[in-house]
Amino acid sequence: MNIYRYEENPLITPEDVKPHRDDFEVIGAFNAGVTKFNDEIIMLLRVAERPVNQNPDIVKVPVWSPDVKELEILDINIEDPSYDFTDSRTISSISNKDGFMYLTSLSYLRIARSKDGRHFTIDDTPFIYPSNELEAFGIEDPRITFIGDTYYIYFSAISSVGVGVSLVSTKDFVNIEHHGMIFAPENKDVTIFPEKINGKYYALHRPVPKSAGAPEIWIAESDNLRYWGNHKHLIGLREGMWDNGRIGGGAVPIKTERGWLELYHGASLDNRYCMGAVLLDLDDPSRVIARSDSPLLEPEAEYEVNGFFDNVVFSCGVIVEGDVVKMYYGVADRSMACAELSLEDILNSLTYATSQ
Amino acid sequence: MNIYRYEENPLITPEDVKPHRDDFEVIGAFNAGVTKFNDEIIMLLRVAERPVNQNPDIVKVPVWSPDVKELEILDINIEDPSYDFTDSRTISSISNKDGFMYLTSLSYLRIARSKDGRHFTIDDTPFIYPSNELEAFGIEDPRITFIGDTYYIYFSAISSVGVGVSLVSTKDFVNIEHHGMIFAPENKDVTIFPEKINGKYYALHRPVPKSAGAPEIWIAESDNLRYWGNHKHLIGLREGMWDNGRIGGGAVPIKTERGWLELYHGASLDNRYCMGAVLLDLDDPSRVIARSDSPLLEPEAEYEVNGFFDNVVFSCGVIVEGDVVKMYYGVADRSMACAELSLEDILNSLTYATSQ
C-alpha cells in the first residue's frame, strides 16, 4: 500500500489551539470529522481541554452541569482510596477499574478551515459544546454525513449514565439543530451512509455489550436519521490479527463501483490502533464482500507513535477526489494528520469472500 | 399494600409443560407476557428447556444454528479449564466470569390460554422460536403491547454477539411477522406504551453499558415501532434501597388519571428481585412524577423464594380491570404466579416528587 503522509503533518496540534477558557489548557485536537463546505475543507476537531492545575494532591474534573447549564470543576483527592487513577484519561472506582466514573478532560467540537487541505485556521470558539445531561462529561469523535443540503454531525455523548451517540445538523456551520441521542449506551463510532439504499438510510454502529459479545461493528436502518432499528451484527474481531481487540466505524462509507467501502479502525489487544477497510454490498450493506487482512495505515510516524495515548491512527473522515482518498486522522489521541491513499489500491488490497 | 395472591399459585410450573423435543426437559415456564385475546387471557410463556443429560462429565449446550436452521447440541467438558461453571444458567470464559459464552438452556415462547385467568391450557408446540443468528442462544422475557388490531411482541434475543430486543407482531396468535432487532446490545426489559403520545410512540428500555453507567431505565421514541431514537435516561439505581442493583421495565405502562404507571422490577445487589412502580407524566413520559420507596411485591411465598434462581418476582405483564391490577409474574425463574393489587392503592403508595 502506497501511503503519502503530508509533509505538514501533524496538521494541527494542541499547541495550535487556544483554550476556550483562561483557566484551561488544550491537551488534544484530534479525531476530527471532515467535510467540504463551500470552497473549504472543514475539520470538526475534537478538542480536549483540562483545568490548569498546580496542585499535585488533586485531580480537577470538568463536568458540565445540567442544573446551572455551565461547567463545574470537581476536585478529586488523589489520596482518596475509593478511586483508581491508573489511566490518566479517566478516574475509576476501585470496585470497577474497567469502567470510569469521571474523565480528566472535557472534549467538545471546534471548526478548523482550509483552502488547500493542509493549512488550517482554527475558530476561536467552540462550535458544538455540551448542552444536556447526556453530554456532561463531553462530546467526542464526530463524523459528518452530507445529505441533500444538510450536514449531519454525530458524536459520542459521555456522561455518568453512559456513552451513546447523539445527532445534530447544520446547513451553514453556524446554526445547529439538535436531534437527541440516536444510539443508546453503550455505543460509539457511528457512520451514517451518505444516501438512501433501497429507500432506507443505513448506519454502522459499535455497541459495547457487557454480558456477551465484544466491541464489534453492527448495522442499522432508519427512515428519518433520528430513529434507528433492524440492528444486525456486521463484522467481528479476528483472533490473532491486527483487529482482535476492538473495532469501530471510521469514515463515512464511500460509494464505489465494487461496493460501499468503510474505512474502520481496529485495535489489537495491546491497544495499537490501525485503519483497515471492509467492503459492503451496494444494494444490501449488511452483506460483507471483502475485508483488510492487514491494516491500510498503522502507527509508524513519530507523531503517530508518541502522544497522549501512544500508537493510534484513528480516522473519522476522508475527502475523496477521483482515485485519491485524503484520509484525515487523529494521531496518538493528540493531533491531526492526513495521508493520501489510492482508492483502487485499497479495493485491490482487500481479501474477497470466496462464497456467496 | 394489600396483595391477593391466587390460591392456585403457582399457576404454571415446568412440570405442566411438555418439552418440545423428546431429548429435552423443561426447567422453566416463567416471565410471561400477558394480554387478552378474544375471550381469553393469554400468557406468552418463556419456556426454558435443556438437553437431557446423563453424563456428569459434560454440560450440553443447545445452540440454534443459522447455517442448518435448527438446534445443535454442543458438549462442553466440565474439566475444560478455559470455562467457568459457577452459575448453573451459563458457561463463562475464565477470562470474563462476569459475562457468558453459552447458556445451559434454550428459551423460546409458548402460549398458555385461560378463560378465568387462573387455569391455563398450554399449547403443545412453541409459538415463537429462535429463527436467526441473533437468537442463537434463545429468546426470553416477552412483553405484549396491543395497538389497533395488532399485538406487538418483543423479547430479549440472546446470542454470542450480545443480548438485544427484537420485535414481532401478530393479529391472530397464529401468524407472525418479524420486524428485526429494535434495541441493539446490550439491552433488555423493553415496554412499549399502548398508544401514541403527542404523535409519537414511546418505549422504556434497559441498556447495560460497560464503561460507565448501570443497568437503569431509559426512554425512547419512535414513529413506527421499529426504529427508535431520542434516547433519554429516565430513572436510576438508588443506593441503600430495594432497587440498588439493577432495574428494568416490567409490565406495559398503564394509563391512569395521574400519569403513566410503570410496574418495574428492581433487584438488590444480592439479586433479590422485587416489583415496584414509577409514575410518568401523561403528556411527557420522560418526566418522572413519583416512584416506589418500598417494593409493591417482594418474594415471600414459598414458590417465590425457592426455585431455579431463588428470591425473584418478575412481572412482564398485567391485566387491568377497573381498579384491579392482575399482576402475572415469574417466580424464582421457574414458574408463573398471579397477584391482584388495587390500582388506587399503588398510586397512593408512591412517593411524589416535591419539585417540578
- Per-residue pLDDT tens, chain A, 356 aa: give them: 899 999 999 999 999 999 999 999 999 999 999 999 999 999 999 999 999 999 999 999 999 999 999 999 999 999 999 999 988 889 999 888 889 999 999 999 999 999 999 999 999 999 999 999 999 999 999 999 999 999 999 999 999 999 999 999 999 999 999 999 999 999 999 999 999 999 999 999 999 999 999 999 999 999 999 999 999 999 999 999 999 999 999 999 999 999 999 999 999 999 999 999 999 999 999 999 999 999 999 999 999 999 989 999 999 999 999 999 999 999 999 999 999 999 999 999 999 987 54
CA distance A59 to chain B (A): 19
Answer whether A10's CB lies under 8 Å from A335's CB: yes
Set of chain A residues whose Cβ sits within 8 Å of the Cβ of B182: 229-231
- How many angstroms away from the CA of B133 is the closest CA of chain A? 9
CB pairs under 8 A between A and B: 165
pLDDT of residue A261: 98
Cell representation of residue A76: 478529586
Task: Report residue B240: phi and psi, to 5°.
Answer: 80, 0
Q: Which residues of A touch B205 (CB under 8 A)?
A: 184
- As a residue count, chain A comes to 356
User: At B346, which helix (H) or strand (E)?
Assistant: helix B343-349
- Residue of chain B nearest A202, judged by CA positions: B227
> Tell me, what's the pLDDT at B321?
98
Q: What percent of chain B is modeled with pLDDT above 90?
A: 95
Q: How confident is the model at residue B87 (pLDDT cuts 50, 70, 90)?
A: confident
Residues of B in contact with A232 (CB under 8 A): 134, 180-181
Q: What is the pLDDT of residue B207?
A: 98
Contact between B184 and A180 using a beta-carbon 8 Å cutoff: no
Q: A300 CB contacts (<8 Å, ≥6 apart)?
A: none
Which candidate from A161, A210, A226 shows the least CB-CB separation from B186? A210
Nearest CA to B181 out of B252, B133, B253, B251 is that of: B133
DSSP helix/strand/coil, A322: coil
User: Quick one: CA dihedral A286, A291, A297, A298, positive or negative?
Assistant: positive
The predicted-structure confidence for B153-184, as pLDDT tens digits, reads as follows 999 999 999 999 999 999 999 999 999 999 99
Give the contacts of B297 (CB within 8 A, at least 6 positions apart).
B1, B3, B274, B275, B313, B315, B327, B329, B339, B341
Are residues B233 and A161, on separate chains, in Cβ contact within 8 Å? yes
Predicted local confidence at residue A38, as pLDDT: 95
Q: Which of A14-18, B137-141, B251-255, B305-309 has the lowest mean pLDDT?
A: B305-309
- Name the CA dihedral angle for A143, B216, B157, B36, rounded to a multiple of 10 degrees: -120
Domain locations in chain B? 4-352
Buried b (16+ CB within 10 A) or exposed e, A341-352: bbbeebbebbee
Task: Report the gap between the CA of B216 and the closest CA in chain A (Å).
Answer: 8
In this prediction, residue B355 has a pLDDT band, given cuts at 50, 70 and 90, of: low
Q: Of B128, B150, B144, B130, whose CA–CA distance to B190 is shortest?
A: B144
Indicate if the pLDDT at residue B354 is higher than 80: no
- Contact residues for A284 (Cβ-Cβ < 8 A; gap 6+): A197, A198
- Are B102 and B93 within 8 A, CB to CB? no
SS3 for B247? strand
At residue B356 the predicted structure's pLDDT band, cuts being 50, 70 and 90, is: very low
**Spatial CB neighbours of B45, under 8 Å, sequence gap ≥ 6:** B12, B17, B29, B30, B32, B109, B110, B111, B112, B122, B336
Contact at 8 Å (CB) between B342 and B322?
no
| Reported ipTM | 0.97
Rounded to a whole number of angstroms, the distance from the CA of B38 to the nearest CA of chain A is 31
Residues A212 and B112: beta-carbon distance below 8 Å: no
List the single best residue of A100, A230, A355 to mutate versus B (max B Cβ within 10 A).
A230
Please name which of B4, B30, B7, B6 lies closest in space to residue B17, comparing C-alpha atoms.
B30
Report in angstroms the alpha-carbon separations of A129 from A72, A162, A169, B135. 14, 18, 14, 40
User: What is the structure's pLDDT at A355?
Assistant: 53
What is the reported pLDDT for A98?
82
Residue whose C-alpha cell reads 414459598 in the numeric block: B302
Q: Which residue of B has its CA nearest to A99?
A: B211
| Residue-wise pLDDT tens digits, B299-345 | 999 999 999 899 999 999 999 999 999 999 999 999 999 999 999 99
Q: Which of B228, B284, B286 to mutate: most A Cβ within 10 Å?
A: B228
Partner residue facing B228 (CB), from A99, A212, A228: A228
A233 φ/ψ angles, rounded to the nearest 5 degrees: -75, 130
Mutate which of B152, B186, B218, B284 to disrupt the A interface (most A C-beta within 10 Å)? B186
Fold designation for A4-352: Tachylectin-2; Chain A (2.115.10)
Yes or no, beta carbons of A211 and B100 under 8 Å apart? yes
pLDDT reported for residue A76 = 95
Task: Give residues with Cβ within 8 angstroms of A169, minimum separation 6.
Answer: A150, A151, A152, A153, A176, A177, A179
**Band of pLDDT at residue B350, cut at 50, 70 and 90:** very high
pLDDT confidence of residue A356: 43
Integer Cα distance of A86 and A95 in angstroms? 13
Inspect the interface and report whether the beta carbons of A184 and B208 lie closer than 8 Å.
Answer: no
B251 close to B191: Cβ distance less than 8 angstroms = yes
